């Protein structure tokens, strides 16, 4: 720090001195130029007035008169003298002082007579600076001599010397002041914060994390460095936490999947290859906020699971660019590096027209496949235009994937969800050396139900282009194989759950998706569950003793209306819970411009208002319907405060809300009421399982959960948390990618199915 202070002070002194010298140099030049111009003007004025007085007396009879005229000017300021010369440059009359100081002939100029022009010049004679001003004299328009005016210009040199001297003194004073102020700034504004930052980094390095704040000490003067140091500190803290967690797991003999373990596992499996991911939703979207653009991260378990892998292997994520500022963020090839703070992998965006998005996503995917696969008694709608847009979108994404794969040997592709049922076969046709997997995040219905789809054959052929198809649970795998068996000519290997068709083998396996489980370093809540519950209810001006929570997209498959009816039946059957139990339904609006979803949202709002109108008393109401998007932090507050969480889906592939609730309850309290028609019910056996269509039993289950003994409630939650902790999102990604990397590639791939698919969608 001392060396820094010395360098800073010396640099400032040199800088100020040089700037002052350059400034003074130009100031002296300007001053000198101004003084010379002023002297020339005075000489000109004097000369013009003298010419008029002198020219009438230019003959030998008037020499005395001429001498008297020039003599009158001998005592003017800075005037050395005046002389009148004839054409031979001989003096006719001159000031007395001028003859003593200078030889007048040396000042004369024949050019003034020859050219009949005025002359002005500065000269140095005998070490003295002089200004000579010469004017031609006329008689009858003929040049008969010249008038010489001599000024002493030494005062100009004296004035410039004074400016230099004053500047030197000013610079000296400035240097002293700057040195003093710099020392104070360095001590107060730099040295102190840097010293605190050094102590902070030392504490991080030595592992005394608990004794210091995570936030970097304020260092305004070095703000970019501060941000980088904060990022470095977070990375160091995360790495140390991961190492400590791994050591604890080894000590306890546990095998928990973490982001670090997932990264190492996948790097080992991929070798020299690269991972490519395709999904409709992008991991980062750019949204315009006023005049600025912000990168937003969607609340998605998929991003949580796959981002560490893509970062580890410099992978590529291909997704639909849906943000209103997405186009501004990409380069000329529709790519950008993410995450924004520390770019580690590539995001490739695919653009869809409004018509394509309407037909592919909202039409065929969500009005056709979604209700078809969810047995929730909503009729699927199939339109030929939607199917064509679905095919066009799959072709667009295929083109983008193949462009990104160019130059990569044996790439690994992970396709996400029912939006891309045709893509695996299209990619496999172009790149037989690629290992392709698709994970189907929604249920797969029985063959009779799936047979409703007019294009079931094309969809199945597209899916069977993959080397690996993943579902949440085994029963979905079985339903898929049964559908293939009834629809396509193929050989089903029921022992190994695989399909052999057209010289290609496709494995079908269950991979139950999960959530991220919070680490042991998570901060504990500052207040107990009851106080937090009171605070949450007060925000909505409601008073209650017991709190239930449900978190869903407003979707007809989530059983929200059945849930409300069960709460109504609870209050009817057990009046003791009136004015005591409040249920908060967090309902994120979803696909509202689809008529079925728009109508369903209206039904949910109407039903909550009807039940509230029937039972509401004073500051208590039975149902709070919060119809807006909530952040994960906001939702977690409700998870942690609730006595009971209701997940009553009519049909669901997995439903991660159930696992999120369990992961949030590090107090090991709360009861999960879970529909047996969810994939989660296969794993979370200690939840209170219900049939959401059975309103009476569901109401009894809510009462049972509210009156459950603390010991049983605690034991159930401990077992639930153990399952979610061990079967977390990183294990899901590790198993899925690991199994895909071990797939044996076919020696040849028949392209006839891909040709049929392309023909069908065109």
Asked which of 158, 176, 193 is the last residue of a domain, the reply is 158
Q: Does 424 lie in the same domain as 281? A: yes
What are the CA-CA distances from residue 178 to residues 93, 166, 188, 577 (Å)?
60, 18, 15, 76
Asked which of 123, 158, 193 is the last residue of a domain, the reply is 158
pLDDT at 229 over 80: no
Q: What is the mean pLDDT of residues 489-493?
A: 95
Residue with tokens 């496949």: 369
Domains held by the chain: number: 3
Domain assignment of residue 76, yes or no:
yes
* Sequence-ordered list of residues with C-beta below 8 angstroms from that of 72, at least 6 positions apart, any chain: none
Q: Does 489 lie in the same domain as 539? A: no
Q: How confident is the model at residue 251 (pLDDT cuts 50, 70, 90)?
A: very low
Percentage helix, strand, coil for the chain under 3-state DSSP, each rounded to 5: 55, 20, 30
Answer for the pair 275, 737: CB distance below 8 angstroms, yes or no: yes
Q: What is the pLDDT of residues 173-188, one digit of tens each?
A: 877 787 777 777 767 7
Tokens of 90: 């001989």
Q: Does 689 lie in the same domain as 574? A: yes
* Sequence-ordered list of residues with C-beta below 8 angstroms from that of 532, at least 6 positions apart, any chain: 525, 637, 640, 641
Range of the domain at 370: 267-514
Out of 92-96, 404-408, 747-751, the most confident range is 404-408
Q: What single-letter DSSP state applies at residue 61?
A: G
Question: Packing angle between helix 423-430 and helix 456-463, nearest 10 degrees?
Answer: 50
Q: Does 541 lie in the same domain as 489? A: no
pLDDT score recorded for residue 42: 84
Q: What is the mean pLDDT of residues 242-256?
A: 58
pLDDT score recorded for residue 526: 47
Q: What is the mean pLDDT of residues 626-633?
A: 87
Answer for the pair 311, 347: CB distance below 8 angstroms, yes or no: no
Q: What single-letter DSSP state applies at residue 730?
A: H
Q: Does 579 lie in the same domain as 615? A: yes
Q: Name 588's bridge partners.
A: 553
pLDDT score recorded for residue 156: 83
Q: What single-letter DSSP state applies at residue 528?
A: -
Q: Where is pLDDT greater, at 594 or 114?
A: 594
Q: Does 694 lie in the same domain as 625? A: yes
As a whole number of angstroms, the longest Cα–Cα distance in the chain is 145
Q: Does 547 lie in the same domain as 507? A: no
Report the range of poorest mean pLDDT among 95-104, 208-217, 731-740.
208-217
Tokens of 424: 């695996």
Per-residue three-class SS string for 331-352: CCCCEEEECCCCCCEEEEEECC
**Sign of the C-alpha dihedral, residues 281, 282, 284, 289?**
negative
Q: How confident is the model at residue 211 (pLDDT cuts 50, 70, 90)?
A: very low
CA distance 100 to 90: 16
Q: Does 601 lie in the same domain as 549? A: yes
pLDDT at 253 over 60: no
CA distance 687 to 676: 10
Q: Does 457 lie in the same domain as 536? A: no
Q: Does 722 lie in the same domain as 600? A: yes
Burial class of residue 378 in the structure, from the number of CB atoms within 10 Å of its CB (0-12 exposed, 13-18 middle, 19+ buried):
middle
Tokens of 618: 């004073």
Domain assignment of residue 566, yes or no:
yes
CATH number assigned to the domain comprising residue 49: 3.30.450.20
Q: Name 64's bridge partners.
A: none
Exposed e or buried b per residue across 746-756, where buried means at least 16 C-beta atoms within 10 angstroms of its C-beta: eeebebebbee
Answer for the pair 361, 419: CB distance below 8 angstroms, yes or no: yes
Domain assignment of residue 699, yes or no:
yes
Among residues 112, 130, 138, 113, the alpha carbon closest in space to that of 43 is found at: 130
Domain assignment of residue 208, yes or no:
no
Answer for the pair 228, 201: CB distance below 8 angstroms, yes or no: no
Q: Where is pLDDT greater, at 508 or 189?
A: 508
Q: What is the pLDDT of residues 108-145, one digit of tens each?
A: 666 767 777 888 888 887 777 888 888 888 887 788 88
Tokens of 603: 């039904």
CATH number assigned to the domain comprising residue 422: 3.40.50.2000
Asked which of 105, 132, 158 is the last residue of a domain, the reply is 158
Domain assignment of residue 205, yes or no:
no
Q: Does 502 lie in the same domain as 554? A: no
Domain assignment of residue 22, yes or no:
yes
The count of residues in the chain is: 762
Q: Does 542 lie in the same domain as 499? A: no
Alpha carbon dihedral 498, 501, 503, 505, in 10-degree steps, equals: -20
Q: What is the mean pLDDT of residues 656-660?
A: 94
Domain assignment of residue 244, yes or no:
no
Q: How confident is the model at residue 91 (pLDDT cuts 50, 70, 90)?
A: confident
Return the ∠ at Cα 754 (arms to 749 and 760), rounded to 5°. Answer: 165
Answer for the pair 512, 732: CB distance below 8 angstroms, yes or no: yes
Domain assignment of residue 256, yes or no:
no
């Amino acid at each position: 720090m001392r060396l820094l202070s010395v360098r800073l002070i010396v640099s400032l002194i040199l800088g100020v001195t040089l700037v002052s010298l350059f400034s003074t140099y130009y100031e002296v030049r300007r001053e000198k130029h101004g003084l010379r111009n002023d002297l020339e003007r005075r000489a000109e004025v004097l000369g013009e007035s003298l010419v008029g007085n002198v020219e009438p007396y230019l003959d030998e009879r008037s020499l005395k008169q001429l001498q008297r005229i020039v003599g009158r000017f001998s005592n003017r300021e800075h005037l050395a003298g005046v002389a009148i010369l004839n054409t031979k440059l001989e003096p006719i009359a001159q000031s007395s002082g001028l003859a003593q100081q200078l030889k007048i002939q040396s000042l004369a100029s024949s050019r003034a007579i020859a050219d009949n022009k005025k002359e002005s010049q500065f000269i140095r004679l005998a070490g003295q600076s002089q200004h000579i001003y010469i004017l031609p004299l006329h008689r009858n328009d003929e040049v008969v001599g010249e008038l010489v005016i001599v000024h002493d210009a030494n005062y100009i040199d004296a004035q410039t010397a004074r400016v230099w001297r004053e500047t030197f003194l000013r610079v000296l004073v400035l240097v002293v002041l700057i040195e003093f102020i710099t020392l104070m700034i360095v001590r107060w504004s730099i040295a102190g914060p840097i010293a605190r930052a050094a102590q902070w980094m030392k504490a991080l390095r030595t592992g005394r994390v608990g004794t210091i704040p995570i936030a970097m000490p304020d260092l305004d003067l070095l703000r970019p460095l501060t941000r980088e140091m904060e990022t470095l500190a977070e990375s160091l803290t995360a790495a140390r936490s991961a190492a400590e967690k791994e050591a604890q797991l080894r000590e306890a003999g546990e095998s928990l999947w973490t982001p670090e373990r997932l990264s190492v596992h996948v790097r080992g499996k991929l070798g020299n290859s690269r991972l490519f991911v395709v999904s409709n939703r992008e991991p980062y979207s750019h949204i315009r906020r006023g005049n600025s653009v912000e990168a937003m991260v969607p609340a998605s378990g998929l991003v949580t699971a796959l981002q560490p892998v893509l970062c580890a292997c410099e992978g590529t994520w291909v997704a639909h660019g849906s943000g209103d500022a997405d186009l501004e963020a990409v380069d000329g090839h529709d790519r950008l590096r993410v995450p924004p703070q520390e770019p580690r992998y590539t995001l490739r965006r695919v653009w869809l027209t409004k018509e394509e998005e309407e037909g592919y996503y909202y039409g065929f995917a969500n009005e056709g496949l979604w209700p078809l696969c969810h047995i929730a008694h909503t009729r699927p709608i199939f339109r030929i235009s939607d199917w064509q847009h679905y095919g066009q979108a799959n072709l667009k994404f295929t083109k983008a994937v193949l462009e990104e794969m160019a130059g990569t040997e044996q790439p690994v592709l992970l396709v996400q969800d029912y939006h891309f049922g045709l893509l695996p076969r299209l990619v496999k046709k172009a790149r037989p050396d690629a290992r392709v997997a698709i994970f189907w995040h929604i249920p797969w219905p029985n063959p009779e139900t799936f047979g409703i789809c007019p294009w079931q054959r094309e969809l199945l052929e597209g899916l069977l282009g993959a080397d690996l198809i993943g579902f949440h649970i085994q029963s979905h795998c079985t339903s898929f194989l049964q559908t293939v068996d009834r629809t396509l000519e193929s050989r089903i290997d029921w022992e190994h759950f695989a399909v052999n068709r057209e010289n290609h083998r496709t494995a079908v396996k269950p991979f139950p998706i999960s959530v991220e489980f919070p680490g042991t370093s998570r901060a504990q809540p500052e207040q107990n569950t009851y106080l937090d519950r009171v605070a949450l209810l007060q925000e909505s001006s409601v008073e209650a003793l017991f709190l239930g929570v449900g978190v869903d997209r407003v979707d007809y498959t989530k059983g929200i209306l059945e849930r409300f009816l069960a709460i109504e039946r609870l209050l009817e059957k057990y009046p003791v819970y009136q004015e005591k139990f409040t249920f908060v339904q967090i309902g994120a609006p979803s696909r509202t411009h689809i008529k079925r979803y728009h109508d369903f949202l209206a039904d949910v709002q109407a039903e909550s208002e009807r039940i509230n109108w029937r039972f509401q008393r004073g500051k208590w109401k039975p149902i709070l319907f919060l119809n807006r998007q909530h952040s994960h932090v906001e939702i977690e507050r409700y998870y942690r405060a609730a006595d009971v969480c209701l997940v009553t889906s009519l049909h669901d592939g997995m439903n991660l809300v159930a696992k999120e609730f369990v992961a949030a309850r590090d107090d090991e309290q709360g009861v999960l009421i879970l529909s047996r028609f969810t994939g989660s019910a296969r794993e979370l056996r200690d939840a209170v399982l219900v049939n959401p269509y059975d309103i009476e039993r569901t109401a009894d289950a809510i009462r049972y959960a509210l009156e459950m003994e603390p010991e049983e409630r605690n034991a159930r939650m401990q077992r639930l948390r153990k399952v979610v902790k061990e079967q977390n999102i990183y294990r899901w990604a590790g198993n899925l990618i690991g199994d895909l990397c071990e797939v044996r590639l076919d020696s040849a791939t028949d392209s006839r199915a891909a040709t049929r698919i392309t023909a069908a969608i065109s």
